[in-house]
Structure 1
């Protein structure tokens, strides 16, 4: 909405005193790699381009910039053409932090972002409109058991349970797999095929779980399995697939996530976990 307002002001009132403030707000809303969705990013870029023309800024314009954090130089005074990024370790910062930016001979827009990473074992499930759970099993029937360890060559079944209290639109589910494993597509002669989806089996129609047919695109990638659904009615779904253990080691497995592509605030994640693969010798 802000991007649309900015583009409108830039087109109809290019001399408005509100333009610089709207630009600053839009830049502040930007995350480290862009705005929240591709749609928001597209609108923001179009609006900022229109605002730059209205404000008389042009491509290739330079500025002399100095930046420091708590008195420690972050960007030495230099001429910047385009964009410039700099990082510092947040562990070195204690209490209130002061960021100083001095710009001369040009207009500079800047933002500060904080990125924090938790040990995967400390990442707990999160429900912001979608519940997702992941578990690994071996065996079948009464002998099925939950596992966190396998031997090289073993096949492990992955169960993804997704609970949607409300209808979802353009839902995306991503499940990173342990680094020492490969995702196996049972309907193909080779695994790790992109852009394919399981076929319904007459003999065992629930082999892939319940409700997986709502996902119009299922991708078996090198490092994860990705499910996409244009529309996902409220309900409980299970997607089941297998991975093959290939490399011994202790692997940190990033949580599985589910979100609406264009409303990322509707989000859920599973717990993080460790998965161990032994040589079996």
Structure 2
């Protein structure tokens, strides 16, 4: 789920038009994800890829602008988190049974039509234990 963030205004949910999420160049977006874990697990990786054309804003960098801070913190702080050029990655040594929410912000940086690949949740050391989300088509207009 994505939300357009505009200073001084309420967040606006981004709805798909004809199956395409449409944003404008320069838009600040808050991406949210939810993981439902039906049992206690260990060594869990959550990889949320970004559509090309977006730049993630890392709130953990000392010089990050205030707008990089998402509106909510992860339900459970991750053991490790990385903000890469093409994905945001969360890792947990232990993930108890429950529902977890994540949010991060990104900026629409380059105009064009892109595909956002599905997010992936996987047990790092248990082959075959994985789940994916739906992908999306994204258009960044000028």
3-state DSSP of counterpart to 1:175: strand
State whether structure 2 residue 45 is matched by structure 1 residue 172. yes
State whether structure 2 residue 18 is matched by structure 1 residue 146. no
Q: Tell me the matched-pair count.
A: 132
Aligned residue number for residue 94 of structure 2: 231
Aligned residue number for residue 3 of structure 2: 137
Instruction: Answer 1 or 2: higher relative contact order, Cα 8 Å, separation at least 6.
Output: 2
Deviations 1:101-129 (A, max 9, x none): xxxxxxxxxxxxxxxxxxxxxxxxxxxxx
State whether structure 2 residue 136 is matched by structure 1 residue 273. yes
3-state DSSP of counterpart to 2:127: strand
Deviations 1:192-230 (A, max 9, x none): xxxxxxxxx9xx9x622422x1x1100000111111000
3-state DSSP of counterpart to 2:129: strand
When the two chains are superposed, the root-mean-square deviation of aligned CA atoms in Å is 2.4
Distance 1:143 1:160 in 2: 16
Taking the TM superposition and a 5 Å limit, the aligned residue runs for 1:1-281 are: 135-139=1-5, 143-147=11-15, 148-188=21-61, 189-190=63-64, 207-211=72-76, 213=77, 215-279=78-142
Q: Is the 8 A contact 2:5 2:28 kept in 1?
A: no
Give the ranges of 4+ consecutive aligned residues of structure 1 lying more than 4 Å apart after TM superposition: 140-143
CA, structure 1 residues 143+239, in 2 after alignment: closer, same or farther (shift >3 Å)? closer
Aligned residue number for residue 18 of structure 2: none
Deviations 1:106-160 (A, max 9, x none): xxxxxxxxxxxxxxxxxxxxxxxxxxxxx11114886531342211111101001
Q: Which has the larger radius of gyration?
A: 1
Give how far 1:254 is off. Answer: 0.7
TM-score normalised over the length of structure 2:
0.83
Q: Is the 8 A contact 2:49 2:119 kept in 1?
A: yes
Distance 1:258 1:235 in 2: 14
Q: Is the 8 A contact 1:219 1:227 kept in 2?
A: yes
3-state DSSP of counterpart to 1:264: coil
Q: Is the 8 A contact 2:49 2:116 kept in 1?
A: yes
TM-score normalised over the length of structure 1:
0.44
Unaligned runs of 5+ in 2: 16-20
Deviations 1:149-200 (A, max 9, x none): 2111111010010110011110000011011011101232259xxxxxxxxx
CA, structure 1 residues 151+273, in 2 after alignment: closer, same or farther (shift >3 Å)? same
Distance 2:48 2:11 in 1: 25
